[in-house]
Structure 1
Amino acid sequence: MLGFGTFSHSISAGRKTGMGYDVPEGVDIRGRYDPEFARILTRDALQFVADLQREFRNHIKYAMECRKEAKMRYNNGAMPGFDPATKSVRDAEWVCAPVPPAVADRRVEITGPVERKMIINALNSGAKVFMADFEDALSPSWENLMRGQVNLKDAVNGTISFHDQARNRVYKLNEHTAKLFVRPRGWHLPEDHILIDGEPATGCLVDFGLYFFHNYAAFRQNQGEGCGPFLYLPKMEHSREARIWNNVFEKAEKMAGIQRGSIRATVLIETLPAVFQMDEILYELRDHSVGLNCGRWDYIFSYVKTFQAHPDRLLPDRVLVGMAQHFMESYCDLLIRTCHRRSVHAMGGMAAQIPIRDDPAANEAALELVRKDKLREVKAGHDGTWAAHPGLIPTCMEVFTNYMGNAPNQIETMKRGDAAVITEEDLLQIPRGVRTMEGLRLNTRVGIQYLAAWLTGTGSVPLYNLMEDAATAEISRVQNWQWLKYGVELDGDGIGVKVTVDLFGRVVEEEMARIEREVGKDKFKTGKYKEACRIFTQQCTAPALDDFLTLNAYSHIVMHHPDGSSRL
């Protein structure tokens, strides 16, 4: 079996940029130089990333153009649906490669950013899996991304530690830890600090390429074949995007000289178009798949974005768009059936609550909501679920274990092949509920606060007893935009009041005053709240809806240092 020396055959003459990084031809680093980052940004690793970029960039560009064409169709009145051209894939009786024993039991997974202390606590949390996130829970600054790669390398090697000087406490890994999954960014996000042949690198290829290059050998040495690396793949809309990932995996395995199918991935079904492509996505990844996940918050965001030109499909207050809505229940039900028919995991959604330490009654009420949601998931057939905070893991674990017993999953016991067919109409049923002034206010208040934190480098933010990530800001933004565009008449306390630009302006002013009271004048003054307010307000009132808030805001956190040679 060949090792990582296999990579060296393709490396061309490189160049060292002053006191900065040693880079191969055609690669420029515009991020700050740091000796720790140089451990990750080696010439060999950068050559691997560049090879991936050069081979797949045209495929990625084509996939992004296909997204634009689909959006135009939906904006002109078309509806997403099952593709007649791939009916044979959906009807055929095929299965994915067997789930590796190392990740057969995934009943509770914890997620969070690739911050050093978070990684240690999450791996020690008692969860079966920790998903380290380069995507929605991370603000993609150069510092966060590169420190995240350093942290993950140390975690895989078992050497990660963190000294909390304020508490005079050292954090280290326990003997038994959760299995590590990594979520790279989506296809649409660039990495502006790394240029390849004069163009920004594709963010997910940077995240995957650096992580794979530096860690696969350690995975194999420490855990043997069939033990990873494991990934989560976000934001896909079509199976052609899964095909690119599959080809990336095969290229990486071939270059490293490792067994085909060593890399395994779970795909988040978090866009409305993707729910009609689940069989096809699994088919493209059938040698590398370990299931699908219900990314339900992003799914709600995608529902609004997909139907942005359909005034008959306005969402109610976002707090009312839960699993009791028929289109949401149908989406999860179809995901479970699809995964189990193809012999892989069907993972449930996020429990976003965080412990309420100063109010035991409110804390118990929150935990009861978690229990009910997790019981619904396990009874429906999910093989596992997500939690945002270590304090929720015992509750989630108890619910799943009480129902599943010692079985690692429900793949074989919950096949349900004879269940009623889920139709396009089920998946597209219009949500029901009221639209209120409080809904508009909550969207505005949460969206601005999340974006303010994101601009200062924090992508996972506790707000009003919930752990929020980028999906929260996206739902808030697109719902405000939708209500403004169509002049929604509010129900409840605001009955007879239409959402106009003037009304929204008053709401923004009043909610900014509330934020200042809640966070304190000093924090408000030194934070990025005014900048976040300006960006969020522009996005909500723009004539055309931008695809992603974070893509628009990314330019505000890019900091170039020419040739990566500057040191701060």
Structure 2
Amino acid sequence: MNTLIIDTPPTARRDESQAPSRRTPAEPKPATGSFQAVEPRIEITAPQGERYDEILTPEALAFLAELHDRFAGTRHDLLAARLKTRVHAANGRDPKFLPETAHIREDASWRVAGAGPGLEDRRVEITGPTDRKMAINALNSSAKVWLADQEDATSPTWRNVIEGQLSLFDALRGTLEYTSPEGKEYRLDRDIRETPTIVFRPRGWHLTEKHLRFHDRAGRALHASGSLVDFGLYLFHNAAKLIELGRGPYFYLPKLESHLEARLWNDIFVFAQERLGLPQGTVRATVLIETIQAAFEMDEILYELRDHCAGLNAGRWDYIFSIVKTFRSRGRRWVLPDRKQISMTVPFMRSYTELLVQTCHKRGAHAIGGMSAFIPNRRNPEVTERAFAQVASDKRREAGDGFDGTWVAHPDLIPTARAEFDAVLGERPNQVERLRDDVEVTAAQLLDIESAGGQVTEAGVRDNISIAIRYVESWLRGVGAAAIDDLMEDAATAEISRSQIWQWLNENTVTAEGTRIDQTSIVRLMAEAVAGLPRFEGDRFDDAISVFRSVALEPEFPTFLTVAAYARFL
């Protein structure tokens, strides 16, 4: 195992009271050559693979150390605040629109910066991990945007984290290639300027990078923040190249739970641009609204990021997970039915999306729709036909509701999604001018979980157990986006599956067939699910079962299944 010590200089703290200014983007100054060695700050505690030194340069790591010096403490404080919020929710205190920020919501005068170059038209965005093959497929697609996902669609192995950065580095320089074990060659089929605009999604605030150890000024050795590592490496190496290509460093920000977390990201953007010689406003961010807490603070989140904000996204799967997680111990009226029955048309989900569109357009921001989990199967025409029909219906609803774009998880779905948005947008790049003044969403509507209706069925219990175990097994092998039963599953859908099992178990839920869900029935169904799975050399099913037991069957509810699984297995 290699250990490398990187040095970084102390830096003066910015005046936090100053609002970021808006300046016209221009060519950045070189980032390298301005990071001087003073004292040990960062250790690499993992093996160095081929070309890792091109990403983990002394200058880049010194930049990461500065980010941690300035912002790791605030990150820690905000994670502690999340715990307090969850305790309040468990004790019966509902989320609400904040009275102390009412002036922000009521002030009609402010707007966000809006789309940067290459982000004006986002009608179809393809999402996926950053390994070389998937990156090439995404960039060769006809989507307008590629969400390069280092979060829910990526298992955060050390190899995936650094080689994902290498994929992006090479793609932006036109040198990205891949040869499969079977000898099939993949490469970009056009100039990088003609490929989908890249929007990079770093890991959420809750995740660490245990293979980089940060030494703070008190002498403590701490795991680095996954968010700061992913963001810092991508920005440091690629900002100048992206601007040269006529685009910019764009980010999707996941898992935010408050406007204070958005403020932290904005502070990071301001500092990073200043440190790397980038004009303020060069960075653009799209925030995923995928927690019930953030749904009540959408205006405030846009306001905090206003000089760097392009829009919001309706992260539907994590949003459902957040509902279950937040209200899991509040009684039976908070119990959701089978995941398949929680459609985007149930009242509480529709309220969430309509409020998002209205909030975005009121502030000049893009509203980006979520991802239908259905995917085609080229070997099964019936499955493919069903996927096309489901996706068309989903995207027709989003375009009709005012969304400016949407997500798909497979290149074959792009024409279907695009057709629905083309029908509404025509030649317009978006419909931000559509203000949705007809929408009025209350706190009660956002919290009307009972409106979902539906039932908990034995089939739903079986599906959740099977999906969670199979996905976690895939994730432990380093595959973060997995096609399971003709659906695209990622960490968010696995979280729904295991959290519903926990809630159903702890609420003594009875299925529609009359079976009480208890430890005995869950263990029996687990055994049946695993017995039907094909085993193979190198599989991680035993470890996946261990993870599932710890996150679904224990009295304590882990906030994220990925946190403990990462610390233990990756």
TM-score > 0.5 by shorter chain: yes
2:60 to 39, 45, 60: 45
SS in 1 for 2:334: coil
1:354 aligns with 2:346: no
SS in 1 for 2:563: helix
Give the CA deviation at 1:395.
0.6
What SS does the corresponding residue of 1:102 show, helix, strand or coil?
coil
Q: Corresponding residue for 1:281?
A: 301
2:509 corresponds to 1:488: yes
Q: 2:225 aligns with which of 202, 205, 209?
A: 202
Aligned residues: 534
* The one of 194, 216, 232 aligned to 2:252: 232
- Separation in structure 2 between the aligned mates of residue 526 and residue 10 of structure 1, nearest angstrom: 43
Q: 1:259 — aligned with what?
A: 279
Report the CA distance between 1:355 and its aligned residue: 1.5
Q: Which residue matches 1:466? A: 487
2:12: which partner in 1? Answer: none
Verify the 8 A CA contact 2:312 2:366 in the aligned structure 1.
Answer: yes
1:89 has 2:104 as partner? yes
2:538 to 526, 542, 555: 526
Corresponding position: 1:126 with 2:142:
yes
| Contact map agreement 1:270 1:294 (CA 8 A) in 2 | yes
SS of match in other structure, 1:110: strand
**Considering only aligned residues, what root-mean-square deviation do their CA atoms show, in Å?**
1.4
Is 1:219 the counterpart of 2:242 in the alignment? yes
Partner in structure 1 of residue 172 of structure 2: 156
1:363 aligns to what SS in structure 2?
A: helix
Taking a change above 3 Å as real, the CA distance of residues 484 and 402 of structure 1, as seen in their structure-2 partners, is same
**2:114·2:366 contact (CA, 8 Å) conserved in 1?**
no
**2:473 corresponds to which residue?**
452
State the AA in 2 paired with 1:385. Answer: T
The corresponding residue for 1:307 is 327
Report if aligned partners of 2:145, 2:199 keep a CA contact under 8 Å in 1. yes
1:511 aligned residue: 529
Given the alignment of the two structures, is residue 9 of structure 1 paired with residue 40 of structure 2, yes or no?
Answer: no
- Identify the match of residue 180 of structure 1 among 179, 194, 198: 198
Q: Distance in 2 between matches of 1:367 and 1:160?
A: 31
| Cα pair 1:74 1:306 within 8 Å, conserved | yes
Deviation of the 1:170 alpha carbon? 3.7
Mapped to 2, the partners of 1:66 and 1:530 lie a distance apart of 35
1:466-510, Cα deviation, whole Å (9 max, x unpaired): 11100111001100000111110111xx22x21110111111111
**Residue correspondence of structure 1 range 422-433 to structure 2 within 5 A:** 422-430=441-449, 431-433=452-454
Give the structure 2 partner of residue 272 of structure 1. Answer: 292
Q: CA deviation at 1:37?
A: 0.5
Give the drift of 1:124: 1.1
Q: Is the 8 A contact 2:126 2:408 kept in 1?
A: yes
Aligned counterpart, 1:21: none
Residue matched to 2:365? 344
Query: What residue is the counterpart of 2:20 in the other structure?
Result: none
Cα shift at 1:302: 0.2
**Cα deviations across residues 292-336 of structure 1 (Å, max 9, x unaligned)?**
000000000000001022112001001101112101000000000
Show CA shifts across 1:498-533 (max 9, x none).
Answer: 111011111111111122xxxx34x2x531011101
Query: 2:3 maps to which residue?
Result: none
Match of 1:25 among 37, 40, 57: 40
Amino acid at match of 1:70: T
Match 1:290 to one of 292, 296, 310 = 310
**What is the correspondence of 1:369-448 to structure 2 with a 5 Å cutoff?**
369-412=390-433, 414-417=434-437, 419-430=438-449, 431-448=452-469
Q: Secondary structure at the match of 1:180?
A: strand
Shift of 1:4: 4.8
AA in 2 matched with 1:272 = I
The separation in 1 between residues aligned to 2:470 and 2:62, in whole angstroms, is 39
SS at structure 2 position matched to 1:188 = coil
In the alignment, residue 158 of structure 1 is paired with which amino acid? G
Structure 2 unpaired stretches of 5+: 1-25, 216-220
Q: Is the aligned partner of 1:543 residue 2:555?
A: yes
Structure-2 change in CA distance of 1:348 and 1:200 (3 Å): same
Which position in structure 2 is the counterpart of 1:19? none
SS in 1 for 2:371: strand
C-alpha distance in 2, partners of 1:305/1:10? 43
Which of these residues, 133, 139, 143, is aligned with residue 159 of structure 2? 143
Q: Structure 1 residue 363 and structure 2 residue 384: aligned?
A: yes
| Cα displacement (A) at 1:357 | 2.1
Q: Write the distance in 1 (CA, Å) between the matches of 2:248 and 2:306.
A: 15
How many angstroms does 1:3 deviate by? 4.6
Deviation, 1:32, is: 0.8
The Cα shift of 1:99 comes to 2.3
Q: Distance in 1 between matches of 2:210 and 2:255?
A: 20
Contact 2:105–2:300 (8 Å) recurs in 1: yes
Residue 209 of structure 2 corresponds to 191
Name the counterpart of 1:321. 342
- Secondary structure of 2:118's counterpart equals helix
C-alpha deviation, 1:352, in angstroms: 2.3
Once the 2 structures are TM-superposed, how far is the Cα of residue 358 of structure 1 from its aligned partner?
2.7
Aligned-partner Cα distance in 1 for 2:339–2:27: 52
C-alpha distance in 1, partners of 2:225/2:383? 44
**Alignment partners' CA distance in 2, 1:243 and 1:7:** 27
Q: Deviations over 1:178-211 (max 9, x none)?
A: 0011000000101100001011111010000011
Partner residue of 1:67? 82
Counterpart contact for 1:59–1:244, Cα < 8 Å: yes
SS in 1 for 2:269: helix
Q: Gaps spanning 5+ residues in structure 1: where?
A: 14-23, 559-568
TM-score (norm 1): 0.92
Answer whether contact 1:455 1:556 (CA < 8 A) is retained: no
Q: Decide whether the 8 Å contact of 1:161 with 1:173 is kept in 2.
A: no
Using the TM superposition, name which of 530-539 and 78-87 deviates more.
530-539
> Quick one: distance in 1 between partners of 2:86 and 2:323?
12
When structure 1 is superposed on structure 2, of 56-65 and 331-340 the one drifting more is: 56-65
Question: Is residue 27–residue 240 contact of structure 2 (8 Å, CA) maintained in 1?
Answer: no
Equivalent residue in structure 2 for 1:169, among 182, 185, 210: 185
Q: 276-285 or 535-544, which moves further after superposition?
A: 535-544
How many angstroms apart in 1 are the aligned matches of 2:77 and 2:185?
50
Distance 1:116 1:307 in 2: 39
1: distance between equivalents of 2:83 and 2:283? 30
What's the % identity of the aligned pairs? 43
The 2-side partners of 1:533 and 1:4 are apart by 51
